[in-house]
Chains A and B, each alone.
Chain A
Amino acid sequence: DVKVTQSSRYLVKRTGEKVFLECVQDMDHENMFWYRQDPGLGLRLIYFSYDVKMKEKGDIPEGYSVSREKKERFSLILESASTNQTSMYLCASSSVNRGASGANVLTFGAGSRLTVL
């Protein structure tokens, strides 16, 4: 069964701490994404990557950075966590080959719920 695995399901951090959220996929996908989900706001794209060492800003990149040193791994970094970064963080991956449907289907991990106190 194909998987996107997020290493931490629940984290509690203090304001100002540096936070690492790790994501690994085993599908040999080229594209990887970080979204955050908040009530009433849906899923918003933070950063994405289409290749190793490549990254692009999404809609809400402020306060975040990312790292993609290996194809299967995409990390989200909060340099100095703030309370407004309390959220559910979702990692996803997709292939450049769209398959029979032609749609760009993202496969998501189970999410990491971060609370910043």
Chain B
Amino acid sequence: DQQVKQNSPSLSVQEGRISILNCDYTNSMFDYFLWYKKYPAEGPTFLISISSIKDKNEDGRFTVFLNKSAKHLSLHIVPSQPGDSAVYFCAASDLEGTASKLTFGTGTRLQVTL
């Protein structure tokens, strides 16, 4: 039962253009959503987050949009750069239990071409 889904395994975008990565979720109890970036042979690094009570959060070239009614979020990267080529994971956080844990999606591999 995949609570966080990334339906596009890969995406190719030209340098300078916009990259849009999508994520869907099923659990309405998630309170925060996060995006992580992962290079090969490295651990994931945190990029940006959004609270479930907001619909947009921006940090430099990265913007995350949240549509709660559709249970959908997206990460926009503008402009895309070759160094953005990596696997991007969407993650969701819930408050239940003794330690807030993250549930991850399956990842989208972004390739930014010259």
Chain A residues within 8 Å of B, Cβ to Cβ: 4, 30-31, 33, 35, 40-45, 48-50, 54, 56, 58-59, 90, 92, 94, 96, 101-111
Cβ distance A1 to chain B, nearest Cβ, rounded Å: 12
B interface residue count range (under 10 / 10 to 19 / 20 to 34 / 35 or more): 20 to 34
Whether the pair A103, B49 counts as a contact (CB closer than 8 A) is yes
Chain B nearest CB from A99 CB (Å) reads 10
Query: Within 8 Å CB of A40, what residues of B?
Result: 9, 106
- Kindly name the residue among B46, B89, B99 whose own CB sees the greatest number of chain A CB atoms within 10 A: B99
Of the candidates B9, B41, B102, the one whose C-beta lies within 8 Å of that of A104 is: B102
Interface contact B99-A103, CB-CB below 8 Å: no
Q: Give complex CA distance A90, B103 in Å.
A: 14
Task: Provide the residues of chain B in CB contact with A111, threshold 8 Å.
Answer: 41-43
For the complex formed, measure the closest distance between the CB of A97 and the CB atoms of chain B, giving whole angstroms: 12
B98 in contact (CB, < 8 A):
yes
State how many angstroms separate the Cβ of A65 from the closest Cβ of chain B: 18
Which of A35, A42, A59, A105 sits near B106, CB closer than 8 Å?
A: A42
**Contact string, B29-65, partner A, CB cutoff 8 A, digits 1/0?**
0001010100001111110010100000000000000
Q: Does B104 contact A (CB under 8 A)?
A: yes
- Knowing A43-B104, A50-B98, A56-B99 are in contact, say whether A104-B32 is a contact too (CB < 8 A): yes
Residue of A41, A90, A105 near B49 (CB, 8 A) is A105
Chain A residues with CB below 8 A from B44, complex form: 43, 90, 108
**Contact, CB under 8 Å: A106 / B41:** no
A54 contact set on B, CB distance < 8 A: 98
Judged by a CB distance under 8 angstroms, whether B83 is at the interface is no
Among A41, A50, A96, A106, point to the contact of B102 (Cβ < 8 A). Answer: A106
